Amino acid sequence: SSEVLEAIENVIQGVLQSLAQKKAPVLTVANRADWRNIEFKDSVGLQMIPHCTTKQIRSDCPQSAPRFALMLKILSMIYKMVQSNTYATKRDIYYSDTLLFGSQSAVDGLINDISCMLKIPRRSLHILSATKGFVAGNLSYTEEDGTKVNCTCSATVFTVPSNVQGIKNLISHAKFVLIVEKDATFQRLLDDDFFTKVSPCIMITGRGVPDLNTRLLVRKLWDSFQIPIFSLMDADPHGVEIMCVYKYGSVSMSFEAHHLTVPSIKWLGLLPSDLKRLNISKDALIPFTKQDQNKLASIQKRPYIACQPLWKKELEIMAASKLKAEIQVLTSLSQDYLSRVYLPNKLQFGGWV
C-alpha cells in the first residue's frame, strides 16, 4: 500500500511542480490499444513493450481537460481507500457521481489508464471489478474473509471470488481444468454430472468474454496445480477470440499480462475439423456474416497464430467453409453427446490442438 500511495504522491507532485512553474499540468499515459506497443512472447502472451508510445492528457486543452480532472478525482478516491484499507467496485466509483463520470465504460477506461500509468495492478489500487464468472468441480479454498468454499461436494455453481488474490488453501484432486465459453454449456455439463463421471476436474466459465477475476482465477489454478487447462468454445471467430484472451491476453490489458495469461491452454473443441469428422449436417451450421469474416481475418494476422501451426490449420478450415457452429450443434447427434461421447473421447485420445 505504501508503494501505491507513493506512486500517487509522485503524480500529484508533478502536477504541483508544473503549476509552480506556471505551466499547464499534464498526465502521460501509454497508448494501451495500439498494436505497435504490443509484443508477443511465447511464455507470457501479449505484453506491452518497455518504451511504448504515449499520449498526453493535458489540463489546458478543452478536449482532454475533463479527462485530466476525472483522473485526479479517481486518484484521490484510490488514495483514500488505500489509506483506510477499504475497497470499492468500478460500479461504486461510477455511482458515487454518475453526472460527473457520464458512463460506466468511461470509468473503466480511466481506471485501466491509471493502473497502467502507475504500473500497479488494479487489485492493488483497492478497486474490485464485478464478477460474472462461475466455477464448479473438484476445488475448495478459503476466501480472504475466512469463508470456506467447497465446490467439490455438490453440483452447485459458485461465483468466481471478487478478490482472487486473497484466496488461499486451494485444494483439488482435479486432473484438468475445463474453461467453458458459455453459461448454457456449463450448466449442461453440470446437469450431466460431467466433472465426476469422466475424471475429477474443475470447470470454469467467464460466460462469454471473461472478466478480470475469471482470468485471474484461471491463472491462479494454473500456478497452484500445474494441471492441463482445456478450452471448450463455439467453432466461430468469437469463440476463438475469447480463447485467445484466456491464453494470450488482450491488447488493452497487456500491461498486466504476467498476472493474467496462461499460454499453455489447449483448444479442446469445438474444432472446425470436428464438424467434418463427425458428419455434422450442413443445415445445422450457420453461415458467416461480414463481421465474422473480418474478425477471423484479423485473428489470422495476429503474431501468436504464426507459432501455432495446428490452430492456423483449423482457422483455415473455418475460413474456407465460411460456416460456424455453436457447441449445441452436437445435440443433433444425441442429447448428451457432448458429455457422454465427445469430451471423454477427446480427453482420452488427445483430440486437442
User: Each residue of 212-242: pLDDT tens digit?
Assistant: 889 999 999 999 999 999 999 999 999 999 9
Q: Is the pLDDT of residue 275 over 70?
A: yes
CA atoms within 13 A on the CB side of 208: 2
Apex CA 8: angle with CA 120 and CA 25, to 5°? 120
* Mean pLDDT value of segment 279-286: 86
* Mean pLDDT value of segment 266-295: 90
Quick one: what percent of the chain has pLDDT higher than 70? Answer: 99
Instruction: Supply the pLDDT for residue 198.
Output: 80
Instruction: Supply the pLDDT for residue 154.
Output: 65
Q: Is the pLDDT of residue 127 over 70?
A: yes
Q: Is the pLDDT of residue 204 over 90?
A: yes
Of 95, 141, 337, 342, which is the active-site residue?
Answer: 95
* Mean pLDDT value of segment 178-201: 87
* Mean pLDDT value of segment 51-64: 84
User: Each residue of 261-272: pLDDT tens digit?
Assistant: 888 999 998 999
Q: Which residues, other chains included, contact 197 with Cβ-Cβ below 8 Å and sequence gap of 6+?
A: 339
Cβ–Cβ under 8 Å, residues 124 and 166: no
DSSP 109-165: HHHHHHHHHHT--GGGGTEEPPP--EEEES-EEE-TTS-EEE-TTSS--EEPPS-GG
Closest by alpha carbon to 76, among 84, 259, 129, 335?
A: 84
User: Each residue of 131-159: pLDDT tens digit?
Assistant: 889 999 889 999 888 889 888 866 678 88
User: Each residue of 241-258: pLDDT tens digit?
Assistant: 999 999 988 777 777 777
Q: Which domains does the chain have, with CATH numbers?
A: 2-128 (1.10.10.10), 134-349 (3.40.1360.10)
* Mean pLDDT value of segment 58-87: 90
* Mean pLDDT value of segment 206-214: 89
82: cell is 488505500
Cβ–Cβ under 8 Å, residues 299 and 345: no
95 as an active site residue: the answer is yes
Q: Model-level pTM greater than 0.95?
A: no
Q: Which residues, other chains included, contact 28 with Cβ-Cβ below 8 Å and sequence gap of 6+?
A: 54, 55, 56, 57, 117
Q: What is the mean pLDDT of the chain?
A: 88
Q: Is the pLDDT of residue 340 over 70?
A: yes
Quick one: what percent of the chain has pLDDT higher than 90? Answer: 37
User: Each residue of 91-123: pLDDT tens digit?
Assistant: 899 998 888 898 998 998 899 889 888 888 877
Instruction: Supply the pLDDT for residue 203.
Output: 93
Peptide bond into 270 cis (omega under 30): yes
